[in-house]
Structure 1
Amino acid sequence: METLLARLDRIAGGRHAGYRVPDEARDHPRTRRAFTVIAWLLALELVIGLSAVVVAVVLTAGGVQVGFAVWMRSVIVLGMTVTLFYFAWRARAGYYWAYSRLRLFAKIFPVVTLVIAAIPGLYPLWMVTEQIVFSLILIGVADYLDSDHMRASFPRPGNQGTTGDVRA
């Protein structure tokens, strides 16, 4: 299993795929607490995403026309959430690349989601509401990842001095 994960990490993490932060930073109580909250927020995102699919299915079964954009959005949100869970899991294991990706996407996805939600007539009101809630939760994830403690715990490769465990 670890071999498969290492390959996936290499694809997702690029040249810094093997770089891990020091154990004391990764295992610090504030770091662990932040990742616990992040996991709960992502679980809430998953529930919201699944709920959107259920609402679309129920509406369709009731004879309401549910547009292609709603179905695509629902599938994309679930895929994004699973990807964010993977990043969070690998970041919790100390991989800088995963922390970096999670932090980046937690900032980008809300902006993209809110811009798309603002397109008149693209989504029904319930889906726009779902997108706003989704974005607010991800902003919360980004806030945890951007804390001084987390940024200090996950120094960029090359900025950490002699600390850090480099594994290929």
Structure 2
Amino acid sequence: MTRRGLGDRLEPLFRRLDRIAGGRTAAYTIPEEMREHPSTRRAFVAIAWLLAVEVLLGVGAVVVVIVLTARGSTVPWAVWMRSGVVLAITVTLFYFAWRAQRGYYWAYSRLKLFSKIFPVVTLVIAAIPGLYPLWMVTEQIVFSLILIGVSDYLSSDHMRAAFPKPS
């Protein structure tokens, strides 16, 4: 009898999530030789580190909001909302990165798209005068720069060749 890890036991659930997120291309995966290629593996290691920094940034923002509130400061609703949403987005991006690393084209596609869109949206919102305190505007700029780094890895010649669009 072989022991299955938690990930293997949860794989049916992940495939259902993939079907929702990936649509008709949910089952399409890239060839194993491209998935295991050293350049692909290095790119996903770098992406995982960048997203880990994003999670730390998101957790840090939530902690700052909680501490400010506990000390009696009035924290605007927009700051609370943004802190929670960014943390949720980052966790979602981690899921996409994990599935893309396993070869799923849909996840690579979503991760690439969101790593290009979120920085633009974040920077536009950060530019609205008075919406966020300076510390959060700074956090949004750092968040955007890190996601631009993720996008850069995903848009490399090798990664585009490794993840051809399904026909």
Given the two structures, how large is their TM-score scaled by the length of structure 1? 0.93
Question: What residue in structure 2 maps to residue 47 of structure 1?
Answer: 56
1:58 Cα deviation after fit: 1.0
2:34 aligned with 1:35, yes or no? no
1:11 Cα deviation after fit: 0.2
Once the two structures are superposed, residues 39-93 of structure 1 have per-residue CA deviations (whole angstroms, 9 ceiling, x without a partner) of 0000000000000011111111111111000000001001100100000000000
What count of residue pairs does the alignment treat as equivalent? Answer: 158
Cα distance in 2 for partners of 1:153, 1:50 equals 33
Residue 118 of structure 2 is aligned with which of 109, 112, 119?
A: 109
The residue correspondences of 1:27-106 to structure 2 (distance < 5 A) are 27-106=36-115
1:132 Cα deviation after fit: 0.2
Cα distance in 1 for partners of 2:84, 2:61 equals 9
**Following superposition, which runs of at least 4 residues in structure 1 exceed 3 angstroms of deviation?**
none
% same residue: 75
Higher relative contact order (CA closer than 8 Å, sequence separation 6+) = 1
Q: Unaligned regions of 5+ residues in structure 2, if any?
A: 1-9
Q: Unaligned regions of 5+ residues in structure 1, if any?
A: 159-168
What SS does structure 1 have at the residue aligned with 2:114? helix
1:139 Cα deviation after fit: 0.2
Question: What residue in structure 1 maps to residue 11 of structure 2?
Answer: 2
Question: What residue in structure 2 maps to residue 146 of structure 1?
Answer: 155
Cα distance in 1 for partners of 2:11, 2:114 equals 25
Once the two structures are superposed, residues 131-151 of structure 1 have per-residue CA deviations (whole angstroms, 9 ceiling, x without a partner) of 000000000000000000000
Residue 133 of structure 1 is aligned with which of 142, 146, 167?
A: 142
What SS does structure 2 have at the residue aligned with 1:20? coil
One-letter amino acid of the counterpart of residue 152, structure 2: D
Given the two structures, how large is their TM-score scaled by the length of structure 2? 0.94
Cα distance in 1 for partners of 2:19, 2:11 equals 12
What SS does structure 1 have at the residue aligned with 2:128? coil
Question: What residue in structure 1 maps to residue 127 of structure 2?
Answer: 118
